[in-house]
Amino acid sequence: MATSMSDIRKELENRMALLQKEIDDLRRHREAIDRKLQEADSKMYALRVVYETESDRWGEPSLPLFVGKRKSYRFAGMKLIEALELLQGENPEIDKKQAHDILVKEGFDFRTKRTLSAVHFAWIGLERKKKAQKARKG
């Protein structure tokens, strides 16, 4: 008894074409979302700068940005490295563990369960950024 073989390449090509179209659509959506996130981050940064300027103008310390029910929004819209840079600017002697504890206490959205690791790697990135800035200046 002989079995006949059938060529399934055409069907595979059709499936691959459909999947490629889906991938392309998802990438376009992701690019649109990334643009919107960038715009929102820029607006949040601008609002934060204006808020801090107004706080300085009125002689008030720039404490947590907005305080709602048991949650601070001081770091709202910030990337982890930006939040660490802010904390280091406020207290140059701060260490990673202290910074981590402040961020946790103020409800920073780490977007990971491994918050200590995230702080560690962002801290290293911030140190590299500072070294690069120093190298460019001098």
Using one digit for the tens of pLDDT, what is the confidence trace for 70-84?
Answer: 445 677 778 899 999
Buried-state track 23-44, b at ≥16 Cβ within 10 A, e below 16: eeeeeeeeeeeeeeeeeeeeee
Ramachandran angles phi, psi of 102, nearest 5°? -65, -45
- Smallest CA-to-CA distance from 104 within 126, 79, 127, 71 is with 71
In this predicted structure, the answer to whether residue 121 has a pLDDT above a threshold of 90 is yes
Using one digit for the tens of pLDDT, what is the confidence trace for 101-118?
Answer: 989 888 888 888 899 999
Q: What is the pLDDT of residue 68?
A: 43
In this predicted structure, the answer to whether residue 1 has a pLDDT above a threshold of 60 is no
Q: What is the pLDDT of residue 9?
A: 93
Mean pLDDT, rounded, of the chain: 83
Regarding pTM above 0.85, the answer is no
Using one digit for the tens of pLDDT, what is the confidence trace for 21-66?
Answer: 999 999 999 899 888 888 887 887 788 778 778 877 877 655 444 4
Alpha-carbon distance 110 to 108, whole Å? 6
Q: What is the pLDDT of residue 109?
A: 83
Q: What is the pLDDT of residue 137?
A: 80
